[in-house]
Amino acid sequence: MNTEEELQRTIAQMVQPGKGILAADESLPTIGKRFAAVGVDNTEENRRGYRALMCGAPGIGEFLSGVILFEETLEQTTDDGTPLPVVLARQGVVPGVKVDKGKGPLPGAPGDRITYGLDGLAERLVRYREQGARFAKWREVYPVGERNPTPLGVEANAEMLARYAAVCQQEGFVPIVEPEVLIDGDHTLERCAEVSEAVLHAVFHALHRHRVTLEYLVLKPSMVIPGKEHPQKASPEQVAEATVRVLRRTVPAAVPGINFLSGGQGPEEATANLNAMNAAFPGRPWELSFSFARALQEPVMAAWAGRARNVDAAQRVFLHRLRMNGAARRGEYRPDLEARP
Residue 176 contacts residue 96 (beta carbons within 8 Å): yes
Active site residue 220: yes
- Cis amide prior to 149 (ω within 30 degrees): yes
Residue 149 contacts residue 199 (beta carbons within 8 Å): yes
CB atoms within 10 A of CB 135: 27
Choices 46-54, 159-167, 244-252, 287-295 (CB under 6 A): range interacting with ligand 5MM: 287-295
Task: Determine if 268 is a binding residue for ligand 5MM (CB under 6 A).
Answer: no
Choices 24-32, 117-125, 190-198, 318-326 (CB under 6 A): range interacting with ligand 5MM: 24-32
Distance CA 219, CA 225 (A): 18
Q: 47, 113, 124, 139: which one contacts ligand 5MM (CB under 6 A)?
A: 139
Phi/psi zone of residue 82: left (φ > 0), alpha (ψ -120 to 50 degrees), beta? Answer: beta
**Active-site hit among 6, 98, 220, 287:** 220
The residues in 52-71 that bind ligand 5MM, with binding defined as CB under 6 A, are 68
Choices 13-21, 26-34, 164-172, 300-308 (CB under 6 A): range interacting with ligand 5MM: 26-34
Distance CA 97, CA 151 (A): 30
Task: Determine if 85 is a binding residue for ligand 5MM (CB under 6 A).
Answer: no
Active site residue 33: no
The residues in 292-311 that bind ligand 5MM, with binding defined as CB under 6 A, are 292-295
E-strand stretches of the chain: 20-24, 64-69, 94-98, 103-105, 113-115, 135-142, 174-181, 218-219, 257-260, 287-290
Least distance between ligand 5MM and beta carbon 301 (Å): 12
Catalytic residues: 178, 220
Return residues touching ligand 5MM (CB under 6 A).
23, 25-27, 30, 68, 139, 180, 261-263, 292-295
